[in-house]
Chains A and B, each alone.
Chain A
Amino acid sequence: MESRKEEFEATCNLFINSVNNYFKHLTEIDSNIRVPYLKEANGLLLKDYTGMIAISGSRKGFVYISANREMFGDLIHMFIGIDDPSDEDILDMAGEISNVVAGNVRANLGANFMISVPIVFEGMPKELKIPENVSIYVIPIQWNNHEAFVVLGLE
């Protein structure tokens, strides 16, 4: 049986690979993964827009993808050809990337490991409460001169 640490790392890798594949195949621009690191629950990193996915089943937690408006704007320009995206477009792009990444990961996870439809938000919602016993793993990503975070938290 996999240890908790190995399971945690395997889950992180699933999300890293899913994000990498998303950028590589859909934008044809590779993303670079910076050195991942552990962080305390009270010091989460959030950029302008975030798509957050709840994890339930045998492990409880979350994963989110957070980036600034400019990155989502570039993706919209590439995917849809819109040069002047509205705030609604930006939020939808954050939802779209989170959905695709979550969907790819869902296909690779066991039946006891379930992930939700992403919740998309802007800034820091006051309802976001994370217990202290959650391990937070931050994966900084560089794509097309933009920085994004994939952050995984598991009990």
Chain B
Amino acid sequence: MMIEGNINKQQDPKSNWLLNLDKIEDKTRRNYFSGLPPEHTLLDFFTYAFVINKPKGRVGGDGFWLHERGDDVYLALFTCVGEGHLAHMMIRIYMNALKRMVNEYAIDYPGSILQFVHGEVQSRFNNKNNILLNTNANIGIVKVNLITKEMSFAGANMNLIQAARDGVRVIEGEKRQVGDTGASKTAYSSIALTDTDTSSFYLCSSGVYNLIGGTSFKKLNMAEFSQHLATIQRYPVSSQKEHVEEFLADWTGSNRQNDDILVIGFTP
């Protein structure tokens, strides 16, 4: 198909006509955000929840997935390696793997879900030589029983931060990513969590820890971010999103955001 000659002429050439380009909707950005669950749907399952999603460009390589089965809800956050549009394509591949898991296998344990997703991505890209795409991803997945508040977590190169009454704990996932086509068979363990009814939890994309700034112009580390999460526990949960956004903005300062950022906080 080719289209010719339908461009609207602008009568005043001195006006800032380039602003019109900003009025054109970028379809990839629309697809990116519409492919993720709306923030308010988390509130159907959690006492409080927020999502901070700031891709570096028009689209990002971070995504999340939410699924309800019986009394359980599953929440996964994933960071596809790379950035921009190719990483955005990988998000859909991971989402499709999770949908397939739900529709055909109904796997219960977060660790087993990671193992399944790893196998799906591996088999999809097996024998595809010379592809430019990095198929790996970091994933953290939690399973929450909505009645009992029992929770379990599994991570593939991603940790879960728990802000409990006695302080902040980092629940460490496995150090291995999922989707590495060269990796041998990989297992991920599911970790049962305690004090879930009196804690808040945070999943973060790896881009948060790539943010350069602070007083020493260095990357934000998990201890610093966890410390901030500990300090905001004295505020109402409904204002936590604002505090986290302010902290990340202050850390970055006048530096350009150098990676995609996705943070999900929730109170079961």
Contacts of A60 in B (CB 8 A): 17-18
Tell me the count of chain B residues lying within 8 A, CB to CB, of chain A: 39
In the bound complex, do residue A54 and residue B21 qualify as a contact, i.e. CB atoms below 8 Å apart?
A: yes
The one of A41, A80, A155 that contacts B7, using a Cβ cutoff of 8 Å: A41
Contact with A along B35-63 (1 / 0, CB 8 A): 10000000000000000000001110000
Q: Is B258 on the interface with A (CB-CB < 8 A)?
A: no
In the bound complex, do residue B7 and residue A121 qualify as a contact, i.e. CB atoms below 8 Å apart?
A: no
Q: Which of B25-33, B68-76, B167-175 contacts A (4 or more CB under 8 A)?
A: B25-33
The residue of chain A having its C-beta at the shortest distance from the C-beta of B132 within the complex is A79
The one of A79, A120, A123 that contacts B86, using a Cβ cutoff of 8 Å: A79
Contacts of B7 in A (CB 8 A): 41-44, 124, 128-130
Measured in the bound complex, the distance between the Cα atoms of B83 and A39 in whole Å is 36
Measured in the bound complex, the distance between the Cα atoms of B17 and A155 in whole Å is 11
Q: Which of B8-16, B137-145, B183-191, B209-217 contacts A (4 or more CB under 8 A)?
A: B8-16
Contacts of B28 in A (CB 8 A): 88, 91-92, 94-95, 120
The residue of chain B having its C-beta at the shortest distance from the C-beta of A95 within the complex is B85
Given A26-B132, A88-B31, A129-B17, is A81 in contact with B125 using a C-beta cutoff of 8 Å? Answer: yes
Q: Would you give the shortest CB distance from B16 to chain A, in whole angstroms?
A: 8
The one of A116, A117, A130 that contacts B9, using a Cβ cutoff of 8 Å: A130
Measured in the bound complex, the distance between the Cα atoms of B7 and A123 in whole Å is 11
Interface of A is mostly: mixed
Q: Is B237 on the interface with A (CB-CB < 8 A)?
A: no
The residue of chain A having its C-beta at the shortest distance from the C-beta of B96 within the complex is A86
In the bound complex, do residue B92 and residue A131 qualify as a contact, i.e. CB atoms below 8 Å apart?
A: no
Contacts of B9 in A (CB 8 A): 41-42, 129-132
Q: Is A142 on the interface with B (CB-CB < 8 A)?
A: no
In the bound complex, do residue B17 and residue A131 qualify as a contact, i.e. CB atoms below 8 Å apart?
A: yes
Q: Would you give the shortest CB distance from A82 to chain B, in whole angstroms?
A: 8
Q: Is A7 on the interface with B (CB-CB < 8 A)?
A: no
In the bound complex, do residue A93 and residue B85 qualify as a contact, i.e. CB atoms below 8 Å apart?
A: yes
Contacts of A91 in B (CB 8 A): 27-28, 31
Q: Is A52 on the interface with B (CB-CB < 8 A)?
A: yes
A: residues with CB less than 8 A from B are 26, 41-48, 52, 54, 56, 60, 62, 68, 76, 78-82, 86, 88-89, 91-96, 99, 116-134, 155
B: residues with CB less than 8 A from A are 1-10, 12-13, 17-18, 20-21, 23-28, 31, 35, 57-59, 84-86, 88-89, 92, 125, 128, 130-133
List, sorted by A's number, 20 A–B pairs whose CB atoms are closer than 8 Å.
Answer: A42-B9, A56-B18, A76-B89, A79-B86, A80-B132, A82-B89, A89-B92, A92-B59, A94-B28, A95-B26, A95-B58, A118-B58, A120-B28, A121-B24, A121-B25, A121-B26, A129-B7, A130-B8, A130-B10, A130-B17
